[in-house]
Chain A
């Protein structure tokens, strides 16, 4: 079946919904999502969204600018970061005007809290910058944007799973999707396709991410012959619940929580004496791993403690009710009475689909655009986060660049009209053939087994600390898993809600870009932000102050080219907290 729209947006998190809200005012927009929109993982974001509103204390856009550049370990593109921090204020006010139920100050303004790496006066001390709604910030933002889409009659295709992009001669033609409730494959013929498909935490065993976060947009992009940018930079959030990976917001430390080792010592004083627990995530995660590696994990285990007891029950209930709830319900730990065992958890992808500051996807990663193809949010690499993202900058990125994508799409259609490029039936058929092969394959491998092995090897070999031997072993294992994936067999041969098939396609996507991460990490001979090489412990601005552009060749190997970092105001300097 063939459907037709001016614009097809894939993903219904903050980036996709914000873009839809913008573009649907002028053009025929459809949002395609594998989940009902309110299930999107943006809704799991807890702690806040950054903007230098100065509602609680002095703050300046320029401080936010500097913090984000420094937080990125100087790999962030400063033109893109400047847009992000400038747009932050109008974006936040707009979210409030749309109805977001933010927590409030005594004066009735949007309340703000401290977060890692956000400082006053260019690094002096932590600053109150994260706008929040208790520890449900993503939840209320997702609901608010969805509500506005309902109000504006945006067309949704829910539980449609995106399979492949239709693109030929560098011109977008549409999208192939699996309509799960109706049990059929459909093609969307469109002038524009935008991805807001989110991250891929499920490439890792210990992750804060939802089961749905399998980087589908990245897999599709790779199969379309487009490179990915900076994929070696994976963020490990310092405080995932031990053995589960479930996120405990950095807001817990923003509210005054301590990190303690087995000696009961606030170990962050060794690593970040000025801001302690509110150092950026890469630094805190490395510090935790160092404590564990040197034998100061709790009872010799792979965890340390996050202690919130001194904050008191009343404050915890008011500011951190969600984490109180799931610590008690899921883990059996009461944060009022006992410290929470935590370990770093795979959380966010700094890398992604290379785009311009107007969310246009770059076919070569550098300057050649794919006409009509856009991306924003976690799946895209603008790059505002460089080598390490600051907490609360991701929601901001999703909304600011989702909005920019919407505006950019409208401009494109205004200038070029809505007549679509010729439909490519042969590509649709090729995509269906690929799916049929997976569905009807009679091999001996199970999807669950291969996925477990991938998640384990990524956790063990491509984690917080990396070195050549581990990365080489990791790469070999990923290559092996790719081959074994060709020999799978699934149980479900049906058409309606074949989640067995959907999971196989998800694993296929994870495997299509896993090499970009591992080979990228092996290739980068330095330590910067979230990429920490034991064998190359220093940042190397002479050779590596540049973005990685990684293209998967037909034989599966990765070809690297590079793109210079945009530096406008802040010259790289040593990064200390």
Chain B
């Protein structure tokens, strides 16, 4: 089938404002949106810029907005799109565009750094592994699936209206450590989250859950953080 790809274009060196450019490509329903972007870049217009790497949903490079929804383009099967004859692709919303479909993710990564995204345990480690039961591991398992693609945080209306909101990705990472049986940093992290730009800015809109390519129930994890703050002993 013939597909019209309507692509967001912006070259910081020559354009005063962004515009859309439409490319026509031949495609099969079994192909992914990323395949079509490659076809444009390799066969029609080498100036098109976008990020991608693994092409099977684990590196998190290629999140974009396809027909208005955030997703990984490497997983976006043409046949599964509601609108297939014209596909509109935008960069992830709410972040500054560097060029075409590439956004500046610095603030997204800074928020990740804020929640202390590393195991905090100041006790000397045992000679072998620290023990962790299967139940304890399962408590954090889903939160470790996150690939930091940014699809959730940039789909969050609370984040759109307040750019200082830590956002679902950073909060999910906070959960991953706070609920890790080996971690001793829960108190200091909960202090960071117990703030108007912390977990309380989550209004349970569930956009993050819909956007997550790894099918993580982000909102559930955030609700557990709220519960932990409310019930902790100060």
Measured between beta carbons, the chain B residues less than 8 angstroms from A53 are 128
Give the residue of A43, A98, A492 whose beta carbon is less than 8 angstroms from that of B47. Answer: A492
Of residues 137 through 190 on chain B, the ones whose CB sits less than 8 Å from some CB of chain A are 137, 140-141, 144-145, 147-148, 176-177, 180, 182-183
Whether A446 and B42, one on each chain, are in contact in the complex, defined by CB atoms closer than 8 angstroms, is: yes
Q: Which residue of A lies closest to B32 (CB)?
A: A330
Does B134 belong to the interface (CB within 8 Å)?
A: yes
Cβ of A520 to closest chain B Cβ, rounded Å: 28
Of residues 494 through 509 on chain A, the ones whose CB sits less than 8 Å from some CB of chain B are 494-500
Number of contacting residues on A, CB 8 A?
62
Give the residue of A106, A183, A329 whose beta carbon is less than 8 angstroms from that of B75. Answer: A329
Measured between beta carbons, the chain B residues less than 8 angstroms from A247 are 56
Cβ of A197 to closest chain B Cβ, rounded Å: 14
Give the residue of B127, B129, B147 whose beta carbon is less than 8 angstroms from that of A38. Answer: B147
A131-142 interface code vs B (CB 8 A; 1 in, 0 out)? 001101001100
Does B16 belong to the interface (CB within 8 Å)?
A: no
Cβ of B80 to closest chain A Cβ, rounded Å: 9
Does B234 belong to the interface (CB within 8 Å)?
A: no
A96 to B131, alpha carbons, bound, how many Å? 10
Question: Which of B12, B13, B32, B119 has the most A CB atoms < 10 Å from its CB?
Answer: B119
Whether B56 and A44, one on each chain, are in contact in the complex, defined by CB atoms closer than 8 angstroms, is: yes
Q: Which residue of B lies closest to A243 (CB)?
A: B30
Cβ of A463 to closest chain B Cβ, rounded Å: 21
Whether A330 and B56, one on each chain, are in contact in the complex, defined by CB atoms closer than 8 angstroms, is: yes
Whether A104 and B118, one on each chain, are in contact in the complex, defined by CB atoms closer than 8 angstroms, is: no
Q: Which residue of B lies closest to A139 (CB)?
A: B58
Cβ of B95 to closest chain A Cβ, rounded Å: 13
Q: Which residue of B lies closest to A448 (CB)?
A: B42
Of residues 41 through 64 on chain B, the ones whose CB sits less than 8 Å from some CB of chain A are 41-43, 45-47, 49-50, 52-61
Does B102 belong to the interface (CB within 8 Å)?
A: yes
Does A176 belong to the interface (CB within 8 Å)?
A: no
Does B203 belong to the interface (CB within 8 Å)?
A: no
With known contacts A38-B147, A108-B133, A497–B49 Cβ distance under 8 A: yes
A148 to B117, alpha carbons, bound, how many Å? 8
Q: Which residue of B lies closest to A46 (CB)?
A: B58
Does A218 belong to the interface (CB within 8 Å)?
A: no
Whether A329 and B132, one on each chain, are in contact in the complex, defined by CB atoms closer than 8 angstroms, is: no
Whether A96 and B130, one on each chain, are in contact in the complex, defined by CB atoms closer than 8 angstroms, is: yes
Measured between beta carbons, the chain A residues less than 8 angstroms from B60 are 38-39
A97 to B126, alpha carbons, bound, how many Å? 9
Does B105 belong to the interface (CB within 8 Å)?
A: yes
Measured between beta carbons, the chain A residues less than 8 angstroms from B214 are 325
Measured between beta carbons, the chain B residues less than 8 angstroms from A97 are 121, 125, 129-130
A134 to B56, alpha carbons, bound, how many Å? 17
Measured between beta carbons, the chain A residues less than 8 angstroms from B129 are 92-93, 96-97, 102, 109-110
With known contacts A329-B75, A447-B46, A38–B148 Cβ distance under 8 A: yes
Whether B11 and A494, one on each chain, are in contact in the complex, defined by CB atoms closer than 8 angstroms, is: yes
A39 to B49, alpha carbons, bound, how many Å? 17
Does B99 belong to the interface (CB within 8 Å)?
A: yes
Give the residue of A98, A109, A148, A326 whose beta carbon is less than 8 angstroms from that of B131. Answer: A109
A247 to B55, alpha carbons, bound, how many Å? 11
Whether A329 and B130, one on each chain, are in contact in the complex, defined by CB atoms closer than 8 angstroms, is: no
Q: Which residue of B lies closest to A491 (CB)?
A: B46
Q: Which residue of A lies closest to B13 (CB)?
A: A494
Whether B147 and A139, one on each chain, are in contact in the complex, defined by CB atoms closer than 8 angstroms, is: yes
A463-476 interface code vs B (CB 8 A; 1 in, 0 out)? 00000000000000
Does B113 belong to the interface (CB within 8 Å)?
A: yes
Measured between beta carbons, the chain B residues less than 8 angstroms from A418 are none
A18-60 interface code vs B (CB 8 A; 1 in, 0 out)? 0000000000000000011011110110000000010000000
Whether A497 and B98, one on each chain, are in contact in the complex, defined by CB atoms closer than 8 angstroms, is: yes
B197-234 interface code vs A (CB 8 A; 1 in, 0 out)? 00000000000000000110000000000000000000
Does B20 belong to the interface (CB within 8 Å)?
A: no
Whether A491 and B144, one on each chain, are in contact in the complex, defined by CB atoms closer than 8 angstroms, is: no
With known contacts A35-B61, A322-B58, A104–B46 Cβ distance under 8 A: no
A110 to B136, alpha carbons, bound, how many Å? 13
Measured between beta carbons, the chain B residues less than 8 angstroms from A518 are none
Give the residue of A104, A107, A329, A332 whose beta carbon is less than 8 angstroms from that of B57. Answer: A329
Whether A246 and B144, one on each chain, are in contact in the complex, defined by CB atoms closer than 8 angstroms, is: no
Does B104 belong to the interface (CB within 8 Å)?
A: yes
Cβ of B26 to closest chain A Cβ, rounded Å: 15
Measured between beta carbons, the chain B residues less than 8 angstroms from A500 are 41, 46-47
A239-257 interface code vs B (CB 8 A; 1 in, 0 out)? 0000000110000000000
Measured between beta carbons, the chain B residues less than 8 angstroms from A150 are 113, 117-118
Does B77 belong to the interface (CB within 8 Å)?
A: yes
Cβ of A202 to closest chain B Cβ, rounded Å: 10
A210 to B176, alpha carbons, bound, how many Å? 27
A478 to B35, alpha carbons, bound, how many Å? 26
A319 to B61, alpha carbons, bound, how many Å? 25
Does A225 belong to the interface (CB within 8 Å)?
A: no
A332 to B31, alpha carbons, bound, how many Å? 11
Whether A101 and B180, one on each chain, are in contact in the complex, defined by CB atoms closer than 8 angstroms, is: yes
Question: Which of B55, B56, B137, B182 has the most A CB atoms < 10 Å from its CB?
Answer: B56
Of residues 1 through 44 on chain B, the ones whose CB sits less than 8 Å from some CB of chain A are 11-14, 30, 32, 41-43
Measured between beta carbons, the chain B residues less than 8 angstroms from A38 are 59-60, 147-148
Give the residue of B99, B125, B136 whose beta carbon is less than 8 angstroms from that of A93. Answer: B125
Whether A36 and B58, one on each chain, are in contact in the complex, defined by CB atoms closer than 8 angstroms, is: no
Q: Which residue of A lies closest to B112 (CB)?
A: A150
Does A181 belong to the interface (CB within 8 Å)?
A: yes
Does A435 belong to the interface (CB within 8 Å)?
A: no
A-B contact pairs, 18 of them (CB 8 A): A38-B147, A39-B54, A43-B54, A44-B54, A101-B137, A110-B129, A134-B141, A139-B58, A139-B147, A211-B52, A330-B57, A330-B75, A491-B45, A491-B46, A492-B46, A496-B11, A496-B12, A497-B98
Known pairs A491-B46, A492-B47; list 9 more (Cβ under 8 Å). Answer: A92-B129, A97-B121, A99-B119, A139-B147, A332-B77, A448-B43, A495-B13, A499-B41, A499-B49
